[in-house]
Homo-oligomer: A and B are copies of this chain.
Amino acid sequence: MTDLRVTVDIVIFTIREASLQVLLVKRGVPPFEGHFALPGGFIRVQESIEAAALRELYEETAVRDLFLEQLYTFGDPHRDPRGRVITVAYYALIASDKSSVVAGADAAEAHWFHVEKIPNLAFDHNDILAYALERLRNKLEYTTVGFQLLPKKFTLSELQGVYEAILGKRLDKRNFRRKIALLGILKPLREWHRTGRKPAQLFRFAASHFEKLRDKGILFPF
């Protein structure tokens, strides 16, 4: 009865090089030594599950300001060869301007992987990752989670890039902009991003009071 332990594992997403990437760490000890795995660890007796996730997340990335949501709890009795371990999986979104911090964090070998190029992972972590990706794609369409992957100030093209990277398909620029405008959730700034050719206007997200677009009666079926 006491031989049942609980961990948290976290699928950490960010946008890098115009694509969706996930942070994985190389295991230094058995089981699955040398394989990559999701960051995670055991829950302490006195801490909440979310606190455990935030603690692991900070140890691994040195980032505190991020989006974190519980995903699913995986509990196959044979998922960990060491014994019965249930894991509560989370997924996190790190803004693209903060994902570089990660390098200087933990001693463990941590790398960003393109979501389409994930190696064989330890335990059932490939399943967890696949489920997180599915959840993220779904949530993108009816919530505003997408904004969590961008810096505070961003251009409309950057925003569209987030949607394209996650959904894995190209979107029509005019339709995308019309829909965003219709939502009325962006505040245009009097600042321009000048690094391409023609400067692009910067915006910031200004509707944290409703996470669900459904509340506004509008969905995001791109």
Residues of A within 8 A of B (CB): 1-6, 42-43, 45-50, 70, 72-73, 75-77, 84, 86, 88, 219, 221
Given contacts A6-B6, A70-B73, A1 and B45 within 8 Å (CB-CB): yes
Given contacts A4-B5, A4-B6, A5-B4, A73 and B88 within 8 Å (CB-CB): yes
What would 22 A/B residue contacts be, using CB atoms closer than 8 Å?
A1-B5, A1-B42, A1-B45, A4-B5, A4-B43, A4-B45, A6-B86, A43-B75, A43-B86, A45-B84, A46-B77, A47-B77, A48-B75, A48-B76, A48-B77, A49-B73, A49-B86, A50-B75, A75-B88, A86-B88, A219-B219, A219-B221
Residues of chain B with a CB closer than 8 A to A86's CB: 6, 43, 49, 88
Contact indicator B73/A73 (Cβ below 8 Å) = yes
**What's the nearest-Cβ distance from chain B to residue A152, in Å?**
30
Residues of chain B with a CB closer than 8 A to A219's CB: 219, 221
Contact indicator B75/A49 (Cβ below 8 Å) = yes
**What's the nearest-Cβ distance from chain B to residue A219, in Å?**
8
Complex CA–CA separation, A2 to B43 (angstroms)? 11
**What's the nearest-Cβ distance from chain B to residue A9, in Å?**
13
Complex CA–CA separation, A2 to B47 (angstroms)? 14
Complex CA–CA separation, A160 to B160 (angstroms)? 39
